[in-house]
Structure formats: C-alpha cells, structure tokens
Structure 1
Amino acid sequence: MEGKLYYRITVTQNHIVTVTFKDKVADPTYTVTWKNYNGEVLKVDENVAHGEMPFYTGATPTKPGGYTFIGWTPEPSAVIKDIEYTAVFLGGETASEDFTFYDLGDGYAIYKYHGTDSNVNIPAAYQEKPVILIDDRAFQYNETITSLVVPDSVEVIEESAFYECTNLKTVILGSGVKRIGDNAFSGCKKLSSINLPEGLTHIGEYSFSRCGQLQTLSLPNSLESLGYSALSSSYSMTYTTYENGTYLGNTTNPHLVFIKRVDSSLEEIIIHDNCKVIGDRAFYSASSLKTINFGEDVKYIGKRSFSNCSKLGAIVIAKTVIKIDDYAFAGSSITYLGFGEHSLIKHIGSHAFSGCENLTNVFLSDTIEYIGEEVFKGSDSINKTEYSNVYYLGSADNPHFLLLKNKWNLETSYTIHPDTRMISHDAFNNCTKMTSITIPKGVKYIGPRAFMSCHKLVNFSVESGNEKYYAPNNTVIMEIGTGTLVSAVNDLIFPAGVYHIGDYALASLVTETITIPDTVVSIGEYALFSTSAKTINVPNSVKRIGEGAFHRCMNITSINIPSGLKYIPQAAFRECTALKTINIPNSVSYIGREAFIDCGS
C-alpha cells in the first residue's frame, strides 16, 4: 500500500472495518512531436509521462536565409496531452529590409511587406525594439507567401493584415498575440493549419472566412470574443452541437464558444454548462426565441448577440457573466433586466440595451465598473428614480447607483445623490446654465463627455473621502494615482502632476488658448474635440496622441507636433478647417488615415 490515508470514524458500538483495494491505473502517456518551420517532423517523443517537461534532443532546427533558431511555439510546458511544437526563428537584418516599419514608442509596427519569400518569418525586433503589431493590409493580396511565423513579441494582428493571401497554407502564431482583427486571414483559401495561443482574447469579424481548407481551429481558453462570421464560408470546419446550438472550442472544452443555433424556429435555448463565450450575433434577430438558459459558466456575451430578438421577455443575466458587449440586446423585446445574486458583471458595452421599447424594470449590479455610452438610449419606458432633476437607475440595494442623465438641461445647479456610484457618458452634456457641481465621495466612475459643453461651469468639487477622484483647484477633475485629467471647465488651471489628458477631457471648451503642461505624456481620444481655442500648445513631452485628438478644432491655424511623437493617428486633425501650417518632426514615421482630411489648404 503506497502512502498513508487517514479516516476518522465515530464509534458507538463494535464494528468490523473492511478495506478494499483495486488495481492501480497506469498513469497516461502522451506523444510530443517537434516540427520545423515548414512542417517537417524533426523528432517524435512517445510515451512521455503526464506532467513531465518536454525537452528537444535532436539536431538544432535550421532555416535558409540567415535565420536564427530562437525556440518553440507554443512555449514548452508540462505535458498533459498529445502536443506539437514548431521551431521559431528570428530574421536578421536582411529579413528586416523586406518590411516597412513605424515606431509606436514602446515597439514597432509592420506597415508593409515588400519581400518575395514564400516562407516569411516576422522579425521579433527592429532597431533594438520589439515588433509588436502587424498593421492592417500589411500583406494583403500577397500571392507568394505560403508559410508564416509570427514571433512572441507581436501582440496585435490588425484587420485585413493577410487578406486574400491565397497561397498561405501554414501560420504559426507566437505566444504574445492577444488580438486578431476583422478579416485578418479572410480569403486565405489554402490555409490549413494555424495555432491560436493562450492569451488570445479577441478574434474579429470574418477573420477566417473563406478559408476553405481549414478543417479545425482550436480556440484558446483565454478567448473573450469571437466576431460575427469569423468562420463563414469555411465549409470544412468541424463544429460540436448541443441542444440546438453549434459550438467551437478545443480538445478539453469543445463547447467554449456558442456560434449559432441549429434550428431557428425553437423558442428556448439551453447553453452548454462549459460555454464561456456567446459569439457576436449568435442570436441576432431570432424572432422565435423567448427563453434563454445561460448555463453555468458563460462569462462574455458578444456584440449584438441577442439584438432584435422580438419575443424575449424578462432577462436575468447569469451571475458568471463578466462582460456584456456593445448592442448585445439592442432593439430586443425584453421587459425586465436583472443580475443574479453575487453577480460578477464588470462591463456593460455601449448601446447594450438601447432601443428596448418594452423594457420597464432595470436592476443593476453593484459590481459594475464600466458602462458604455447610450446604453439605454431609446428605452424610454424604463422606470427611473428621480432626485434633484436627475434620473437614476438602481441596483437591488441602491436606487441611485447609476446617474443616467439630467431631466432638464437648463438648471443652474444639480445635486448628485450621495449614494451615486457611477455617472454615465453625457450625463450633464450641454447643461449650458450649470455653474458648479459636487461629486459625492462614493462615485467610482465618470463617463466621457459627462460634463462636456457645460459652458458656464466654473467650479468642480469632489467630496473628501472619494477614493477615485479629486478636484485639486476646482477647475478640473483628476483620477487619483494615475495623473489622468478627466474633465475641465473653460478657464481651467492645469494642476501639478498631470500626465495624461483623458478621452474627451477638454472637448468643447470655450477658450482662446490651451497650453498643455510639459508633464503630459499622452493625449486621449478626442481629448480636445471641437474646442474653440485659436492656439493649442503641445509640449515635446507628449509621446502619444489618440484618435481624433484635435478633431474639429476649427480655429487653430498652426500647430507644432511634439518632437518625440512617433505616429499621428487616424482623424487626429480632421476638420481643423483653419489649419494652414503644421510642422511634422522627423520622429514621426506613420500618419493615419484621414489624419488631416478637411483641413485648411
């Protein structure tokens, strides 16, 4: 008898205890296969014990063209199943010359591939920085490439990056890839093998559509969203079915993602208990669906997954759900929205319940940390709590949990209820007569544009004890600990310690001049949208600006781009109609689409 087992028995009379033994079950063994970049089998290790670390003992893998072997993908770990490892190589400077790069600051992006190789290894580094992104359309319509190796350094593959690479057969993704964009591999009709690493969270719309040779796709357990029609017209793909549902997953969990219904006429759906993700548009416009059983482990509800379902009634979101994505129930017929006891919900996306005309009762969860814009827009039948000319939606224990919007935008003052925890996007947008506002100490989230276009607002204050926000000089709201400026009045005074200008933080300010302090390193998306300023001074300390950061700054005539800026993002200066002079430093290696569209000549 191996080891020792102890049992405690309470004895009240004489007993005979009999011990029964059974034959020991042999520990399982597995096969580990080692392959080169081109699929060539280098070595096969059989009968590898469960939990044993695999080690390659064969000859060092090689690849022609000056490539250097740097390891294996996926990264070897204790064996728990049959597994294949593929050699990974680092391209030298010769390989780097086949690419156009641009600097993102913390790494490089590949903008375009110019080479003629059939077997392409993305370089892991360029000019002593990691390569972290493959840009949209970087390889689009390339008919030469047949195999691709993406290094561990790459985190994002943007939309259409390999669109219609019609001879691409084999793709090896490094362990660092977290996002695959829309149409990324669409139309790769010969693609038959691709690994999706653990850590990947998002696969975009149509990303593997029209990949006719792709028979299997093992989705990682880390996946949080699967885009609409990600595998459409990939007719060889193998799925799993359960209770009127089609699923895709991996060998340990074939029910990871719910893809679509089998029979669209049924009124009820029962989600498998091992399902984690409901894919985008899984039940879009399901006109017969009345009842949803979410199963025991659904965590992510995808975009438009139940949008326009015209027969849904009361909905209680399963307690396991963490995120409800954009437009998830938009335009549906739901009448009641609640969250299970001990709910784990953190995130409700934009427009998630917009246009739900029959929705009357909503009970949110205290666990929510983020609410997108216009979540309940057009759902005008919802019963709301009113306090000081402001509408609220509540949780089970707090009727003032979410400040939804103002009732009238012509009040000179509003009092936010002391129990408020979240303030919605646009909550006080365009309250043109409001002069001051106080943020209660319990508020933990203020949405973008919450105080935009409040042109008479001169004073912010935050109650003592608030753990998220403070108002250091009463002209701005700041996040504690991050140095992020969240909102500001027209005559703002930048306090010490501002490092980031948040999304829409200075949008629509009416002022002559804005001088951003030299402590600021980043400017968020649409941060200065539609300001009236004629002069905007941006310091050289700024290393990154967000999409649309200066969109519709229609009075500026010139601007200096910071000398440390690496790229100018999409729509950065769109509709700056008076802009005539702009100095772009040599540090800028990339200018996004429509960055200067509709600007002055």
Structure 2
Amino acid sequence: DPGKSAYEIWLDNGFTGTEQDFLNWLKNQSNNADSLGLSFALTDEDTYSVSVGLATERSVIVIPATYNNKPVTKIANKAFNECKNLKKVTIPDSVTSIGEDAFRNCSSLTSVTIGKGVTSIGNSAFYNCTSLTSVIIPDSVTSIGEGAFYNCTSFTNVTIPDSVTSIGNNAFSYCTSLTSITIGNSVTSIGDRTFAGCTSLTSVTIGTGVTSIGDRTFYECTLLTSVTIGNGVTSIGNSAFYNCTSLNAVYITDITAWCNIKFNDYASNPLLYAHNLYLNGELITNLVITDSVTSIGNYAFYGCSSLTSITIPDSVTSIGGSAFSVCTSLNAVYITDISAWCNIKFNVNTSNPLLYAHNLYLNGELVTNLVIPDSVTSIGNYAFYGCSSLTSVTIPDSVTSIGNGAFYNCPVEYTSASAFAFGYINKNNLKTAIITSGDSIGNSAFYNCSSLTSITIPDSVTSIGGSAFDGCSSLTSITIPNSVTSIGGSAFDGCSSLTSITIPNSVTSIDNSAFQNCTSLTSATIPDSVTSIDNSAFQNCTSLTSATIGNNVTSIGDSAFFGCCKLVEVINKSSLNITKDSRNNGFVGYYALNVKTDGQSDIVNKNDYLFYTYNNINYLLGYTGNDTNLSLPDNYNGKDYQIYFCAFYGCTSLTRITIPDSVTSIGSSAFSNCTSLTSITIGKGVTSIGENAFYGCSSLTSVTIPDSVTSIGENAFYVCSSLTSVTIGNGVTSIGNSAFRGCNNIQTVFYKGGKEQWDKIGYAGGINVNKLYFYSEAAPTNSGKYWHYADDGVTPVIWQQ
C-alpha cells in the first residue's frame, strides 16, 4: 500500500514493537539476506528458516539447503505471500515444513518442486496460486493443512501419498481443473469441503485407511462420475456429495463395512446420485446382507435404484432412517425367520425395504397369509409397512403390542389380535378388527383406519384411549362394553359414518372432542354414570337432533355441542340450568326448539325422513337414507312443514331436490355445501329462504324462486359458482346481503316484476343489474331489458328489440 510506511506494513504482517524495533529487525534481515534477496532467520533448533518481510521480485527461486553452514529447514509463514512475479520454486530436501500462507496469492506460480524432507504443508500455503498446474507431494509429507491448495484453478491432478495421514478443511477446494485424485491408504480423515467445487473432477479413490470424510467434502463436484470408498470409512459428513449430479457408480469391497457407515444426511451418500453400487467390481442388483451385519445405518442404500431384491439375515436387529429410501426398483425382500423380522427396530417407515419392494418372501415363498408365531410377543414399528403381498394376518394371543405403522398400506381385510395395542397401525384397508383380551385400547390405536367398518371390543376393556378411533370414517356403529369407564380425548373424532353409539352406564367422563365431527350421529344419550362432558365433546355433530343429559352430569365444557345445528331437542335430567338460545353449558340448548326434563325423544323417523313437531309446527330435520335424487314428502301427517336449519347441510351426494308446495320455509343453511346439487325445484308454498340456505352449492346451474317467496336471506346462494340463470318471483320484497355474491357466472336474472317494483327491494344482494331483465307479457314499446315465458309457460325468453 503506497499510503503506508514500511513500519506500518511490518505491523500489518503480524509483528509487534516500536519503530526502533522495526529498524533493528530490518538490519538483522539485511545481514541475513543472500544474493537472491531471500531473508533468513535463525530458529530455536539452530537451523534457518526462509523468513518473512523481504519480498523478492524474482520469477525463479531456488531455496538453498544451507545458509551460513546451517541447514534451511522451514519456509516461514507468509514468506512469499503476494509475490506476484514468482513463477517457479524449488524447495530442497532439507526443508521439513512449509508455513501458513507461505506462497499465498502467488498468482503467476506455475511450478513447485517440494523436497523429500517436507513433512507438513501449512494452512493456505499455496492458497489462490491460480497458475499452478501440478505439484508432486513427496512421501515424506504427513499432513496437508486447511486451504493448502485452495482455488488453485489450474491444478489438473494430484496424488496424495500413503505417508499423509490428514487432509485439512478446504485443502483443494475450488481447484476447478482437477480431474482426478488418489488418496493414499494412510490418510485417516478428510476435512470439511476438502474438494468442494472441483467441477472438473471425474473420479475419486479413497484409501482403506480413511475413517472419516467431512462435511461437503465433494460438494458440487458436478462432473464426478465414480467414487471408490475404502472399507475403513465409518462416517461421511453432511452433504459430502451434494449436487454431484454426474455420479453413476460407487465402488466398495465390503458390504458389512458399508452397512456400518454413519451417513449424516441423504446427501452424505453418493448413491443419492450414482444409483448404482458395485461390490468388488460387480453391479449389485440382488443384495445379500452378510450374517456379520447387526445393523444397517441411516441412508445406507438411499437412492440405490439398481437394487431389485435384498436378503436380510436374522442377525440384523436395527435398520436406520431412510436406509432404503428411493430404492425404486426393489420388488422382493427375502428373510428366513418371521420372529426375527418382527423384532427388527425400523427407525422410520423408510427404514423398511418393503416400502418399495411390497413383496416379502419367507424361505423363498411369497408371504400372502401371514401367521405370526406364538413365540412373538411384540411386532415392531413399521414391521410390515407397505407389504402389499399380504392378504390376511393371524396374530396370536402372545402378542401384547403392535408398533406404529406396523401394517400400514397392507391390503388386509381382517385382523384378529389379543392385545390390540394397534398403535398407529394406519391400515387403510383394515375393515374388521376383533380384540379378544386386554384392559385398554391405547392412544391412536386405530387412528385413521379409514376402511374400518366393524370393531369388537371385549368386556375386559376399561378405557378407550385418546384418538383411539380418530378418523375411522367408515365406522358405522360400535358397541362399548359395560366395563369401560373412560373415553379419551378425540377417541371417535371424525367418525363421520357413525350413526349411533351407546355409552354404557359404567362411563364416568367423556373427554375433550371425544365425538367431535361425528357428522352422521343423530342422537346421544349420556348415562347417569357420567359426571362431566368436556370441551368440544360433540362439537360439529351436524346431524345430531336429540341429546339426553344424565342425572349426574355436573358440568358441560366449552363448545361441547357447538355446531350441532340440528339439535332441536334436549332432554335434561341433570340439575344444570339448560335453556333455549343459551350459549352456556357448551351450547347444548343454543339450537334447541324444546328443552324438557323427562320423557322420550319426540323425533320421528318416517321413511328415512326425520320430523319433529313443536308448538304445532312440523319441522323436517334431515334425511337418513341413501338416495341422491329426492322428492320431499308432500306433507307430514297431512300438514305443512318447514325445512329446518341445516337439514341437508353437507349432503355432498345429493344431486336433485324437489320441494313440494306443502313446505312453507327453507331454514338457514338447509342445503349449504351440497356440492353435487345440480337442480332444485322450490314449491309454491315456500315464503322464505333462510340465510346460507344454498351456500356453496357449486354445481347448481339454475334456480327459479316462486312468487310465494317474500324474502331471500343473506348469503342464500353465496358462491354457487356454476349458477348461470336465476328467476325471481314478484313476491320478493327483500334480498339479503351477498345473497348472490360469488355467483360470477350468472348470465341472466329474470325478475317477474317491473323496474319500479324492483327498486323497492332496495338491495340487489350481489346481483349484477346489467344482467337483470324485467317481465313483460306483451312486446315492450319502451327501451330496456325485458322477458316473457315461452308457450310452455316455463321457459324464459328475452324480448328482442
């Protein structure tokens, strides 16, 4: 830096002292300088080192073996740092160490001869020597420091001799012209990012002495096609082979050693990109794990798509996470002992090769009818995960626990078990379960068994755990034995096909969300033994019409019955003050028409239609049948009726509905979210359409509102996105906010009155007035948009002007 004094530069190079100290040092250097301009300093060992501070402008340097009759043994730190003109250096055999940054940023250096006495090459010794094409590392070198050859972009090849025991972090990083490396057998560790960014590197051979490969060692060596890994390697660091996208072969000599390698993540394993594993030069397709293997590590065969089958011996007791992930060609797993297989510890589902293979062979025979032997007491996590060859399973009484996901995605229709500790089985195809003994059903035991239709619970069971049947959406009924005293939180949450359940007198408490989202449940009777109903216990049971609260219930938690919009009848036998329209006591009376203290339910099921009469008014509460095209009853006991709040809410299979003239009103949310409903006929007796009545009926294409209707509630047809045509009778006097909002495909709105009458309505409920046509029986004489009926008296026709 021309702006700095020599003294300041001296300080910048790491020296300390006064300016006089600097002058004394400079004098000493001058006294110890040779004719080449090299500076020497006496070491503690009574030898000389090529010193720092006296830069040379020469392009060729030959370091002498002796100076003042004493050997030159070291090249000091930063000795030739930033010598931009230096092109060639010869280091004699007398030198034992090359210091840190010794030749750093010597950007013109093309050739270095390292003497046979050098044992260590210091950190960043040749850092950024971008013109250096090659270097011969002699057999004397035992360590190569961090960043020693970092960014030597002209380097083409390097051989690391057997004498080297350690290679530092970043030692050869970004040597972008380096095409091949051979790492000697004495190297025990390769540091982090040692060869990162060597984008021309095509092959690597790692010697048998190497035990560890650091993080990102070969990071983004994008042309690397093959790697040979010695059988001494025990660990490979994070992302060691990340983005080595040209890899197509990994060569090993010992499968036991390979299984024991600790791969820190999926990109530690070169198979992520190579896919092909070679054992002693032969491509492995049918992998046979040797009896000496007791565990297979994490990511061991991650991405090894050349594998078609694997034989796992009885000696294996654990298989690590993602050990067989993305082994997409696997189609067979061979074993010799079911008991040993059941006891393997699979860390996660991707530990099990059956995830991809699907077919399990026992002593050469495909297993379809699995019989667990009596010697087995537990079946481990993920033991048969994805084993689609199974059609049936027999589990003996000796089994006391079944692990997470043990039979997940196995097409088994029937399972018999004694201990039913079916923790997280997640068998989508499990249809029937018979439990023969035991005193509890564990948490999440049948969680998300979406095909389960039947479960038999023995009298020995005293508790049903949290989420035990959560998500069993095909379960239609269940009998809880009198031995059960507690039902855990979310035990039956989301059992959307469950229409009835009997809670025995033995139960004392119903926990949080126990029956939440049981949307087909029509009635609930809480026995006298129950003292508390916890928060959200029956929340969103949208088909629940009647609830009986037992004598001894003293508390009902928050939102216990929230969203039970059809709950018209509450029989309150408890001392709780339950009243209509009240949000207290978990909303149990909030939706009710009638709260009474005794008697039986007055709800009547007539031909699959649920009716309720209160104060001489008849209400249609819902439908329990399976028809999708419905014509509602002409009357109920000879009288008119109303369609109650949420009566057909969420009936997604309903396609057509005909409402007779005997219906007087359509309640709020009556047909909300009937997403398959394409056609509705509204009878001439209907006077009001409630809020959200047809909210979200996204398949509805047209609607005719008869003259009898006087009001259309807020959001009545909100987001009926397929609606193209609307006819509104002349009896309508009010249209609620957003009644037709989100109906963006409406092309025509036929109003049976005139403009003056329309203007009195005041608010169009989201109707685009540019689509509006007024009724005119005769051809209009004034300008405007008008319509009339065709000869059939039904079809609207626009008058052409």
Larger RCO, structures 1/2 (Cα 8 Å, 6+ apart): 1
Shared fold (TM-score greater than 0.5)?
Answer: no
TM range (shorter): 0.3 to 0.5
Which of the two has greater helix per residue? 2
Larger Rg: 2
Q: Calculate the TM-score normalised by the size of structure 2.
A: 0.28
